[in-house]
Amino acid sequence: MMRSRLGFLGLMVVLVGGGCIVAERNVSPGINDSYENTELTEWVGRFEGESREVFINREKIVELAGVSSGMDVADVGAGTGFFAEMFAGKVGPEGKVYAVDILPGFLEHIEQRVAEAGHQNVETVLCTNRSTRLPPKSVDLVFMCDVYHHLEYPGSSLASIRRALRPDGRMIIIDFDRIPGVSRDWILGHVRADRLTVVKEALSMGFEVEKNLTQESGLEENYFLVFKKR
If one asks whether residue 79 binds ligand SAM (CB under 6 A), the answer comes out as: yes
Q: How far apart are CA 158 and CA 123, in angstroms?
A: 20
Residue 54's Cβ-side half-sphere holds a number of Cα atoms within 13 Å equal to 24
Q: What is the number of the residue whose Cβ is closest to ligand SAM?
A: 79
> Closer to ligand SAM at the Cβ: 11 or 103?
103
* Least distance in angstroms from the C-beta of 107 to ligand SAM: 9
**Burial class of 55 by CB neighbour count within 10 A (0 to 12, 13 to 18, 19+):** middle
Contact residue for ligand SAM among 11, 86, 88, 151 (CB under 6 A): 151
Binding mask 112-141 for ligand SAM (x = CB under 6 A): ---------------x-x------------
* Least distance in angstroms from the C-beta of 137 to ligand SAM: 19
If one asks whether residue 101 binds ligand SAM (CB under 6 A), the answer comes out as: yes
If one asks whether residue 103 binds ligand SAM (CB under 6 A), the answer comes out as: yes
Contact residue for ligand SAM among 102, 159, 193, 205 (CB under 6 A): 102
DSSP tag of 18: T
Q: Which residues contact 148 (CB under 8 A, 6 or more apart)?
A: 154, 173, 175, 193, 198
Which is nearest to 163 in space by CA: 208, 207, 97? 207
* Least distance in angstroms from the C-beta of 39 to ligand SAM: 14
Q: How far apart are CA 167 and CA 146, in angstroms?
A: 25
> Closer to ligand SAM at the Cβ: 191 or 199?
191
Judged by CB under 6 A, the stretch of 13-21, 59-67, 100-108, 194-202 that binds ligand SAM is 100-108
> Closer to ligand SAM at the Cβ: 9 or 147?
147
Residue 39's Cβ-side half-sphere holds a number of Cα atoms within 13 Å equal to 3
Beta bridge partners of 114: none
Binding mask 154-193 for ligand SAM (x = CB under 6 A): ---x------------------------------------
If one asks whether residue 35 binds ligand SAM (CB under 6 A), the answer comes out as: yes
Interface residues toward ligand SAM, by CB under 6 A: 32, 35, 47, 54, 76-79, 100-103, 106, 127, 129, 145-147, 150-151, 157
